[in-house]
Homo-oligomer: A and B are copies of this chain.
Amino acid sequence: MFDTLIRKLSIAGGLTEGDHEMLRRVSVRSRQVPARQDLTTEGDRPENVHLVLSGFVCRYKILPRGQRHITALMVPGDLCDLHVAILDEMDHSIATLTPCTVVAIPRSTIRDLTENRPRIAHALWWATLVDEAVLREWLVGLAGREAPERMAHLFCELLLRMQAVGLAEEDGYALPFTQIDLADMLGLTPVHVNRTLQHLRSEDLIVLKKRRLEIPDAARLKAFCGFDPTYLHHTPRTKNLNSNQHKLQISAS
């Protein structure tokens, strides 16, 4: 039930059963947060790292003109703000998009984990680098893909990310976003998001109704937007896994 984090970090490398136990223990004290509520706000120096157990969370910035832009999407199993330990001030905000279950993990716990659990430390480091890779892909999409491809690309990415934590079926998943939310992710206006959705629908690439997205032919959708899943790093090479002698520590003196 609460094992999405474990499921996700397992992709990074072999966690032991003891690691699993530690992670499970961390995730016990969860709380419910309603939709559209800030978890941390720009300018803060927060004390907690948030783990998403259910629902969707986003990272966003507000431009001078007032527009919100979403720079990242966190799904169950994702940690929201691992970097608060280093940077002095948040340069962006984090908010729920839907009702969520989250765990607020004190920085000290993260510190303990990374001190005493080298494989967990490694997995966390891996997770932040994957986040950065996703960020790069979004950047490239904004610059180089037109609206329909860009949207299709997002849907493909979410399909894989949701499948990785066991929250998507073969051909679809829950997509409880508003068209305004999508607009803020894709750098489009809500009007054009709607147009683009109609376009993808008319080509039978997607079926989106009742907050559920269905992808009749995933291969076709991927071909349509030139989706290459490498950047998600969901398939670590066993070769590296075995020969990997690096461990990571984020420790406090």
Please report the C-alpha to C-alpha distance between residue A143 and residue B59 in the assembled complex, in whole angstroms. 15
Please report the C-alpha to C-alpha distance between residue A150 and residue B237 in the assembled complex, in whole angstroms. 39
- Write out the residue numbers on chain B whose beta carbons fall within 8 Å of the beta carbon of A249: 248-251
Q: Which of A32-40, A63-71, A200-208, A210-218 contacts B (4 or more CB under 8 A)?
A: A63-71
Chain A contact residues (Cβ within 8 angstroms of B): what range?
A: 35 or more
- Write out the residue numbers on chain B whose beta carbons fall within 8 Å of the beta carbon of A83: 129, 132
Determine if A1 is an interface residue (Cβ-Cβ < 8 Å).
no
- Write out the residue numbers on chain B whose beta carbons fall within 8 Å of the beta carbon of A59: 136
Determine if A20 is an interface residue (Cβ-Cβ < 8 Å).
no
A5 to chain B, nearest CB (A): 18
Determine whether the beta carbon of B144 is less than 8 Å from that of A71: no
Determine if A89 is an interface residue (Cβ-Cβ < 8 Å).
yes
Interface residues of A in 33-50 (CB under 8 A from B): 45
Determine if A31 is an interface residue (Cβ-Cβ < 8 Å).
no
Q: Kindly identify which residue among B91, B187, B228 contacts A143, using a CB–CB cutoff of 8 Å.
A: B187
A43 to chain B, nearest CB (A): 8
- Hey, which bits of chain A sit against chain B, CB under 8 A? 45, 59, 61, 63-65, 67, 69, 71-72, 83, 85-89, 91-92, 111, 118, 122, 125-126, 128-133, 135-140, 142-145, 186-187, 226, 228, 230-231, 233, 236-237, 240, 245-253
